[in-house]
C-alpha cells in the first residue's frame, strides 16, 4: 500500500469503455493494496492547479471484463493516494426511447442486479453506510454546471440498473427494467459506487448512452461493435466534460459523503 504525507492526488477519474487516458503526458505509478492490484497503473496529472489521478476501469486495452474488475483494489488505491472525489464516466444502454446514442445522463439512483462481486470492505464489525442517494450531490451539480458551460446536453437524473454481464440483457429483462421505471443499464456501476461510499469518497457517475437496450428497439439487439463505435465518436466530448467538471468540484467537501463514517467504529484504519 502506498501512503504519502502530501496527497498524490485529491481528485480522480475512473475511465470506462473507450476512455483509457485522461491526459497524455501524465506520470504513471503502480499502487498495491491489501485487496490486490488495481485494474492498471494510475496516472497523475495537474489540472487547474489540482492533482488528478486517472485509472482505466478495464485496464488499458480493455483487458479486464466488468465481472472480473477488482473494484475494492481500485477504490482503495485511489483513496490511499489521497483521492476524496471521483468522477466515473461509463458506457450505458438506454431503456428510454428519448435517451438515444450519444446522450449524456447524470444518474441519481442505481439498482444492483450483479451477483458474486465483493461489494464491501467491512467483513467484520457493524459498519452499515447510508446509500439512499448513491451519488455525491455536489459532484452531480458540478457535472450539470460543466455540461451547461460546455454546451453539452446532459439529462439530470435517472436510475441505472447494474447487471452482472458480461452478456447483454435479454429483451424480457430489458422490458422489465424499463417497466420498473429505470433509465439506464450498465455493468460496472456497482459495487464501484458503494465501495467509494464505504471509504467516504465522493462518487459521481457520468453516463454516456451508446445504444438502446434489447427490449427498447424491436428490431435491434445490442452489439459490442456498436457500443464501442458510439463511445469512440463521443470520447472527446466526454473528456471535455470531465475536464470541465474537475475544475468545478468543491475545494472543500461539505456533502454527506465526507461524513458517512462519522461515529462508526471501523475494523481497520482507512488509508
Ligand atoms: Zn460528496
* pLDDT-based confidence at residue 227 (cuts at 50, 70, 90): confident
Output the pLDDT for position 220: 64
Instruction: Tell me the average pLDDT across 174-196.
Output: 97
In a domain, 269, yes or no: no
User: Which active-site residues does the annotation give?
Assistant: 211, 213
How many other β-carbons are positioned within 10 Å of the β-carbon of residue 154?
Answer: 18
- What is the arithmetic mean of pLDDT over 174-202? 97
Structural domain containing residue 42 = 11-259
Could you tell me the pLDDT band of residue 3, with boundaries at 50, 70 and 90? very low
| pLDDT, mean over the chain | 91
pLDDT band at 231 (very low <50, low <70, confident <90, very high): confident
CA 101 / ligand 1 centre spacing (Å): 28
Say how many Å lie between the CA of residue 225 and the centre of ligand 1: 35
123 touches 49 (CB < 8 A):
no
Name, in order, each residue with C-beta under 8 angstroms of 167's C-beta and a sequence gap of 6 or more: none
pLDDT at 4: 45
CA 202 to centroid of ligand 1, rounded, Å: 4
Q: How far is the centre of ligand 1, averaged over its atoms, from the C-alpha of 11 (Å)?
A: 12
Written as one string, the DSSP assignment of 42-88 is EEEEEETTEEEEEEETTTTTT-S-GGG--HHHHHHHHHHTT--EEEE
The verdict on residue 54 lying in a domain is: yes
pLDDT tens, 76-115?
999 999 999 999 999 999 999 999 989 999 999 999 999 9
Within a domain: 34: yes
* Averaged pLDDT, 50-66: 91
25 annotated as ligand-binding: no
Using a CB cutoff of 8 Å and minimum separation of 24, what contacts does 172-175 make?
A: 172/215, 173/214, 173/215, 174/93, 174/95, 174/213, 174/214, 174/215, 174/216, 175/215
Number of domains into which the chain is organized: 1
Confirm whether residue 213 is marked as ligand binding: yes
Q: Read off the CATH number of the domain in which 128 is found.
A: 3.40.50.1580
83 in a structural domain: yes
User: Per the domain annotation, does 266 fall within a domain?
Assistant: no
Question: Do the domain assignments include residue 4?
Answer: no
Give the per-residue pLDDT at 219.
60
Query: Is 265 a domain residue?
Result: no
CA of 49 to the centre of ligand 1 (A): 20
What residues flank ion ligand 1 with Cβ within 5 A?
A: 136, 202, 255, 257
According to the model, what pLDDT value does residue 148 have? 96
Q: What pLDDT, on the 0 to 100 scale, is given for residue 25?
A: 75
* Residue 160 labelled as part of a binding site: no
5: pLDDT confidence band, cut at 50, 70 and 90?
low
pLDDT more than 90, % of the chain: 76
Give me the pLDDT at residue 12, please.
97
Binding site annotation covers 113? no
pTM of the model: 0.93
Q: Do 87 and 245 meet the contact criterion of CB atoms below 8 Å apart? A: yes
Percentage of residues in the chain having pLDDT higher than 70: 95
Residue 2 resides in a domain:
no
pLDDT over 80 at 215, yes or no: no
- Residue 58 marked in a binding site: yes
Amino acid at each position: 500500500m502506498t501512503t504519502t504525507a502530501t496527497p498524490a492526488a485529491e481528485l480522480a477519474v475512473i475511465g470506462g469503455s473507450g476512455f483509457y487516458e485522461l491526459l497524455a503526458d501524465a506520470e504513471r505509478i503502480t499502487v498495491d493494496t491489501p485487496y490486490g492490484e488495481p485494474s492498471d497503473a494510475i496516472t497523475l496529472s495537474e489540472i487547474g492547479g489540482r492533482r488528478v489521478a486517472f485509472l482505466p476501469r478495464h485496464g488499458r486495452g480493455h483487458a479486464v471484463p466488468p465481472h472480473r474488475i477488482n473494484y475494492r483494489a481500485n477504490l482503495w488505491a485511489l483513496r490511499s493516494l489521497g483521492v476524496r472525489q471521483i468522477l466515473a464516466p461509463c458506457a450505458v444502454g438506454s431503456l428510454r426511447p428519448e435517451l438515444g446514442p450519444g446522450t449524456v445522463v447524470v444518474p441519481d439512483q442505481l439498482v444492483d442486479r450483479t451477483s458474486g462481486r465483493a461489494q464491501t470492505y467491512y467483513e467484520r464489525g457493524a459498519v452499515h453506510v447510508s446509500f439512499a442517494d448513491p451519488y455525491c450531490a455536489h459532484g452531480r451539480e458540478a457535472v450539470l454546471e460543466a455540461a451547461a458551460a460546455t454546451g453539452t446536453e446532459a439529462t439530470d437524473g435517472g436510475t441505472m440498473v447494474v447487471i452482472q454481464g458480461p452478456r447483454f440483457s435479454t429483451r424480457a429483462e430489458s422490458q422489465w427494467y424499463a417497466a420498473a421505471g429505470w433509465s439506464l443499464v450498465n455493468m460496472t456501476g456497482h459495487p464501484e459506487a458503494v465501495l467509494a461510499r464505504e471509504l467516504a469518497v465522493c462518487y459521481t457517475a457520468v453516463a454516456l448512452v451508446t445504444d438502446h437496450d434489447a427490449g427498447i428497439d424491436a428490431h435491434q439487439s445490442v452489439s459490442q461493435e456498436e457500443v464501442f463505435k458510439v463511445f469512440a465518436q463521443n470520447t472527446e466530448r466526454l473528456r471535455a466534460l470531465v475536464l470541465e467538471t474537475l475544475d468545478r468540484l468543491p475545494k472543500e467537501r461539505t456533502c454527506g459523503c465526507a461524513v458517512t463514517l462519522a461515529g462508526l467504529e471501523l475494523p481497520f484504519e482507512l488509508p
